[in-house]
Chains A and B, each alone.
Chain A
Amino acid sequence: MGIFILYKTILSSGILMLSLLVAMYSTLIERKIAGFFQDRLGPDRAGPWGLLQPMADGIKLFFKEEFMPNTADKFLYILGPSLTMLIALLTSAAIPWGGNLVIGGKEYPLQVADINIGILYIFAIVSIGVYGIMIGGWASNNKYALLGAIRASSQMISYELAMSLAIISVVMMTGSLSLKDIVAQQHGLNWNVWYQPVAFLIFLVCAFAECNRSPFDLPECETELVGGYHTEYSSMKLGFYLFAEYINMFISAAVMATLFFGGYNFPFMDKLALSPNAMAVIGFFVLFTKITFFGFVFMWVRWTLPRFRYDQLMRLGWKVMIPLAILNVVITGIVILIN
């Protein structure tokens, strides 16, 4: 029991560190990629290739003045970014990061919690995420922040529906809500994306909307809302909001890779005939490569597409995504029934 607790502690703190590190360097990579897409070089002054830029940004954010508007609700104002950050970090618990490690004849899964309702857990946590933004925007007592928060909440609620419906077709195929089972079924190259391309597309688009990323970044739409829900935030509270966005991106990429692109599975994995430990390590790196790719897609899309108008966003969500997702579920059901 003691070893079990120790192992889980090490694993969860490792994943926590990993998500924080990835989020930190995502900011640099995002700026680099933005630069390259615009024929620039991006930040390259702090350290070689700008590798110390995230540290510099972090230190800067910590030393900034902690400003709080005098009309703000003090408790909620602090709760907002804390909640956003907490929610962003919680989701990674259910994701299987690799196969099982075997140490001394005992199996140690590279997953913090193999809950049998893994997907439900992730969706439940993600939907709490809207409260962080909503509370922050409301507590700021600023019209732009409030407008941003309202946009964020309605956008996230609308797209969550389509996202969940897209997942239902995957769940129908797999017959399990556990992420571990879903990954295990996609052994080798038997990935879900070949069977459910439409579901993947819907999931991808909805993930952009869920993370408040461009082209759906209306909640923090600079051109009309100053900074959106974090207009009144400064210092590390603002840092938490921005940081949480990158962690969310990382987790969405991980969920996408897990659900549709086989998680830690890779082609010809049976022919290698390696020990389970080696397979687990390779699997982790394979998953990480997939996550990196989707992270790149997130940034790629951001620096390609202009922002949607709000009515376009809502029309796309309710009139296109949800009917399409329902149709996909129905067709999947029929195909399963015939087979």
Chain B
Amino acid sequence: MQLISGRSVVVSNKKMTFWEKIYLPAVLNGMRITFSHLFRKKATIRYPEVKREFAEIYRGQHVLKRDEEGRERCTACGLCAVACPAEAITMIAAERKPGEESLYREEKYASVYEINMLRCIFCGLCEEACPKEAIFLTKRIVPSDFERDGFIYGKDKLVEPLDPLKRIDVSKRETKEVLEFKKDKSKRHNQ
């Protein structure tokens, strides 16, 4: 049988030669190899002093974006919840009352929006499904907690702060190509 990888080695039970039997050449060669490792570049990253950079498009904790005027973009359409393979997202929609135009961009908004971070697999399908550019995954890591309840993140933790200086930058994920891709009506998920 031909194996696909092509890396299979046929085991042979050949007799060892004298040089192989006395082991010493092999031992010395092994010691030469380990000795050369003394001078190699070390793989260690000294954690608290040096931190490893995340990739710009790392998929970590979610953020619910506000628009330029500080209004929540989410319209509680539920596409993210439908797209979520882990069923981690739930929401309750509400109607915008008169006088709340500065809070919500659309006439409908999510009064409750919850993501269970224990269920979430950080696949990013929610942000791909979102037609309003409201939900994004960020470089932040979901911190640990003692209680399971603590991992159900509501709007208090998900919506980004109003203060323009504390906004969460997602420009690396919101590239032109991504926006084009989302508008492409030939793709089934955009219809």
Interface residues in A295-310 (C-beta closer than 8 Å to B): 300-301, 303-305
Interface residues in A8-51 (C-beta closer than 8 Å to B): 35-41, 44
Contacts of A301 in B (CB 8 A): 27, 31
Tell me if B31 and A304 are in contact (CB < 8 A).
yes
Question: Does B13 interact with chain A (Cβ within 8 Å)?
Answer: no
Q: Name the one of B35, B37, B46 contacting A41, with C-beta atoms under 8 angstroms.
A: B46
Q: Name the one of A40, A41, A304 contacting B34, with C-beta atoms under 8 angstroms.
A: A304
Chain A nearest CB, measured from B138 CB (Å): 31
Chain A nearest CB, measured from B77 CB (Å): 50
Q: Name the one of B31, B33, B35, B42 contacting A40, with C-beta atoms under 8 angstroms.
A: B42
Tell me if B30 and A305 are in contact (CB < 8 A).
yes
Cα A31 to Cα B23 in complex, Å, equals: 26
A contact residues, total (Cβ < 8 Å): 13
Tell me if A300 and B31 are in contact (CB < 8 A).
yes
Tell me if A39 and B42 are in contact (CB < 8 A).
yes
Cα A300 to Cα B34 in complex, Å, equals: 8
Please count the residue pairs between chain A and chain B whose beta carbons lie under 8 angstroms apart in the complex: 33
Q: Name the one of A39, A44, A305 contacting B37, with C-beta atoms under 8 angstroms.
A: A39
Q: Name the one of A40, A44, A300, A304 contacting B43, with C-beta atoms under 8 angstroms.
A: A40
Question: Does B44 interact with chain A (Cβ within 8 Å)?
Answer: yes
Question: Does B40 interact with chain A (Cβ within 8 Å)?
Answer: yes
Chain B nearest CB, measured from A21 CB (Å): 24
Tell me if A41 and B42 are in contact (CB < 8 A).
yes
Contacts of B33 in A (CB 8 A): 304
Interface residues in B26-68 (C-beta closer than 8 Å to A): 27, 30-31, 33-35, 37-38, 40-44, 46
Tell me if A40 and B27 are in contact (CB < 8 A).
no
Chain A nearest CB, measured from B49 CB (Å): 11
Tell me if A305 and B27 are in contact (CB < 8 A).
yes
A interface residues, Cβ below 8 angstroms from B? 35-41, 44, 300-301, 303-305
List 19 A–B pairs whose Cβ atoms lie within 8 Å, in order of A's numbering: A35-B44, A36-B38, A37-B34, A37-B37, A37-B38, A38-B37, A39-B37, A39-B40, A39-B43, A40-B42, A40-B43, A40-B44, A41-B44, A44-B46, A300-B34, A304-B27, A304-B30, A304-B34, A305-B30
Q: A39-B43, A305-B27, A305-B30 are in contact. List 7 more A-B contacts (CB 8 A).
A: A35-B44, A37-B37, A39-B42, A41-B42, A303-B34, A304-B27, A304-B31
Contacts of B27 in A (CB 8 A): 301, 304-305
Cα A40 to Cα B42 in complex, Å, equals: 5
Cα A39 to Cα B41 in complex, Å, equals: 7
Contacts of A300 in B (CB 8 A): 31, 34-35
Contacts of B43 in A (CB 8 A): 39-40
Cα A254 to Cα B18 in complex, Å, equals: 33
Which A residue's beta carbon lies closest to that of B30?
A304
Cα A35 to Cα B38 in complex, Å, equals: 9
Contacts of A44 in B (CB 8 A): 46
Q: Point out which of A37, A304, A305 has the most chain B C-beta atoms below 10 A from its C-beta.
A: A304
Chain B nearest CB, measured from A192 CB (Å): 20
Chain A nearest CB, measured from B20 CB (Å): 14
